[in-house]
Structure 1
Amino acid sequence: MPTRSPTMFRALRHHNYRLWAGADLVSITGTWMQVLGVNWLILSLTGSATSVGLSLVMQALPTLLLGMWGGALADRLPTRPVVIAAQIAQAGLAAVLAALALSGSASIWPLYAVALAGGVVSALHGPALGRFGAEVVPPQDLPNAMALGSIVNSAGRILGMSLAGVLLPFTGNGGLFLVNTATFFVVIGAVLAMRREEFHQLTAAERRPGAVVEGLRYVLRTPWLLVVLALSFVLGSVGRNYQVTMAAMSAGPLAAGGGGYGLLSTVFAIGTVIGGVLAAARPRLTLRLLLVTAFLTGVLQALSGLMPGLATFAGAMLPIAAGAVIIDTTVAARVQIDSPDEMRGRVIAALGMVGAGAGALGGPVLGWLSDSLGPRAALEIGGVSCVAVTLLTAVGLARLSGRTIRQAACRRPSWRTPDGTPRSRAGAHQPSLENA
């Protein structure tokens, strides 16, 4: 009997994932409302865009410094209590922001302190959140769940910023922060309402000293993982940070001003939703898909620097945004699925550290290129760099795959035992370009 083909929304068949996706939408909406409110509050107090950028650095820095510790905790501790504790901590920080805004405090330092504390919480609980997301669906549906998660993330971002824009004149920044405070309790309620018997528990790591060093050694001694993380770093630095290049293009060559930048941001958000839908429709997210999408997106980025007007540039941004989501979802899926369960949290932490580092480096680099050579040149240099690194990655992964096959052939001259029983293939944890 032919099997029924997987559906785009197959992860939603699971009760726990439906609760998780709904709570995630509410939480992300509140988060983006708070992001807009914090940025506007800092800008109102200081009149400096640099101050806004500094708050973003304060949030990202703990991930670079503490991310692997968070991964080690995630691999050892039950994820459910960690997630609930983190939601309570984040709700407390949002309430502090609301108190600061409603009290009319004119000091910027408490806001920086909250940003830093929020970064610490995110660094320590982010890997546990990733492991928890993998436990609410069976392994075969994890890529689809992650793709649907990217749709939820994009929808929450659009909804959150739209609601913040509508509510801000009436509630002020404090009202936005109070709304976000409430959203964390929605997540807690959803987690508590999940069915324990439907969780797909991952194997936990043993409690022993040196867990952080062990995680770093695993990453450094896993060639395919290093190659994929290196590709992710380049694509996430010079091939991302489109908020910088779109703003520079809008203010410079396109002469479109703030209205044009708003239009480009909307088009980009729509593109991310399209990318999530395309990723969810795929039965598998493979390394080949990653490489092809990264190559095409890099070419489009280089070509976008040649676009003569706002409409054509916006047209280029749409598939670029879709490609960015497919790339991010595929990297996250492969990194998780192809790593041992007991190392999952630390691998997720490594990916988070790469993302934080890429964002921290890419924004200033693209900004400097835009100021020095012009935004068109910045896009072209970034696109060509992404294409070159993608080709190098394809060569590296092909060689690693070939080496694994040769080693397996040397160890096992036959794939069957004398009685005809198939043997397990060596190198099963080494993903191939075609069927990973």
Structure 2
Amino acid sequence: MQSTFAALRHRGFRVWTGACLVSVVGTWMQVLGVNWYVLQETGSAARMGAAIMLQTLPVLVLGGLGGMLADRLPVRPLLIATQLAHAGLAAALALIAWSPSGGDLALVYAVSVLGGAVAALEGPVMGRFAATTVPQSALGNALSLGSLVSSLGRILGMSLGGVVVAAAGPAVLFGANALSFAAVVLAVLAIRPRDLHPLQAPAVDTAPKARGGALAYLLRQPMVLITLGLALVLGSLGRNYQVTMAAMSDGPLHAGAGGYAMLSTVFAAGTVVGGFLAARRPALGYRTLIGAGLVTSVLQVLAGLAPHTWSFALAMLPIAAGAVLIDTTVATRVQLDTRADMRGRVLAALAMTSSVAGAAGAPLLGLLSEQAGARTALVLAGVATVLASAAAGAAMARRAGLPLRGRQLRLTLRATLGRPVPATA
């Protein structure tokens, strides 16, 4: 079994990971600050949710453009430009919040939209650059450690942000976030060319390159399409736990705000556990994806039936760990099993899939919780994701030309889903 921190042997990855931790902490401090500021100014949770939604919508519109730029232009200048843009927007939020008469919420919403637009362009560029900080053999471990850093940064950012916003107000959080982007800029400048590793196509991808854009390329990659489809279902119905945890806390568990805060903390801790589990796996194959999808889906059904807050929390911990394992496996497979020259556009497709899952799943689960109850929403969504995971596993086995009946299916899934499947150009 490989070392949990194998990717950290590479200098470029160490520098990049340290900078990302600083940036992630600043980002989550700003997320908390924006939510608090809008809620303080309006007293409306719905308007707070609108600010969050406005940050995700640009990904659906500009994600493809970001992927194309990542594949066609030098990534270092693009990364520096996006970090400076983020810093400028965070500074603008600080000025709005520092305004003696109170800032115009229209300006906050405008900054949210612009921030989402920059993030849509930045995501594929950052993903492509990060993939070059380690050799191809260490990419899975690097992505796992990246998930771990994101989880730790979220916990630190939200915890530190809660203290700072109470003591000094949200403007300080925005200013701190503006400064945090300097860490990424310095890392990009500090990483030497010899610290980087060129992207490689998957070893099985020997067919000549065909013409066409990202969509045409993806349509010729059935394993990647199945992976993205399962990620969409799991992300929409099997995720969005901020909605279902709130509904359970306010409803059948009668846990109130304190219980919701406790569950959020448990979930965050579970994501850290998931990061360690993913980092310790020598390979993140399709078998891991299907297995984690099935396990978390069954646990979601059990969570919907949990009688007490503590039993619900016990289910949330492994669910959160499984969610990180799923996300990391999906990110690993779509990068390792696609052509290097299409990497940015494939990452953009993954970002768009995640955005659709969040934008569609959150209101759907919220409506289902209101109409049928939080328990029913969790159980029905869990059953749906169990079926989706099983169907995806069967489709992957069929794609590999494997038998699909009874014990043979179980054995072939166990034996083959961890192996790469030939990709076409």
Fold shared per TM-score above 0.5:
yes
Give the aligned residue type for 1:87: Q
Q: Are 2:158 and 1:174 equivalent residues in the alignment?
A: no
Deviation for aligned residue 1:213 = 6.2
User: What residue ranges of structure 1 are gaps of 5+ in the alignment?
Assistant: 205-210, 404-430
Q: Which residue of 1 aligns with 2:130?
A: 133
Deviation for aligned residue 1:220 = 2.1
1:78 aligned to 57, 74, 77, which one?
74
**Aligned pairs (5 A) from 1:27-426:** 27-104=23-100, 105-202=102-199, 214-402=213-401
Normalised to the residue count of structure 2, the TM-score between the two structures is: 0.92
Query: What CA deviation, in whole Å up to 9, does each residue of 1:193-245 have, x standing for no partner?
Result: 112112112379xxxxxx99601111122211111111000000010000000
Deviation for aligned residue 1:165 = 0.9
Query: What CA deviation, in whole Å up to 9, does each residue of 1:19-69 have, x standing for no partner?
Result: 111111110000000000001111111111111111122111111011011
Give the aligned residue type for 1:84: I
- Whether the 8 Å CA contact 1:144–1:279 is kept in 2: the answer is yes
Percentage of pairs with the same residue: 54
> Which of 1 and 2 has greater Rg?
1
Q: Are 2:2 and 1:6 equivalent residues in the alignment?
A: yes
Query: What CA deviation, in whole Å up to 9, does each residue of 1:358-379 have, x standing for no partner?
Result: 0000000000010000000010
Give the aligned residue type for 1:162: S
Which stretch has the larger CA shift, 40-49 or 301-310?
40-49
Give the aligned residue type for 2:419: N
Alpha-carbon distance in 2 for matches of 1:45, 1:399? 55
Give the aligned residue type for 2:229: A
- Whether the 8 Å CA contact 2:335–2:346 is kept in 1: the answer is yes
- Whether the 8 Å CA contact 1:154–1:269 is kept in 2: the answer is yes
Give the aligned residue type for 1:62: P
Query: What CA deviation, in whole Å up to 9, does each residue of 1:158-203 have, x standing for no partner?
Result: 0001101111122211111010011000111111111211211237
- Whether the 8 Å CA contact 1:19–1:190 is kept in 2: the answer is yes
Alpha-carbon distance in 2 for matches of 1:334, 1:435? 11
Q: Which residue of 1 aligns with 2:204?
A: none
- Whether the 8 Å CA contact 1:68–1:212 is kept in 2: the answer is no
- Whether the 8 Å CA contact 1:62–1:123 is kept in 2: the answer is yes
Q: Which ranges of 4 or more aligned residues in structure 1 deviate by more than 2 Å?
A: 201-204
User: What residue ranges of structure 2 are gaps of 5+ in the alignment?
Assistant: 202-209, 403-414, 421-425
Give the aligned residue type for 2:108: L
Q: Which residue of 2 aligns with 1:423?
A: none
Deviation for aligned residue 1:432 = 5.4
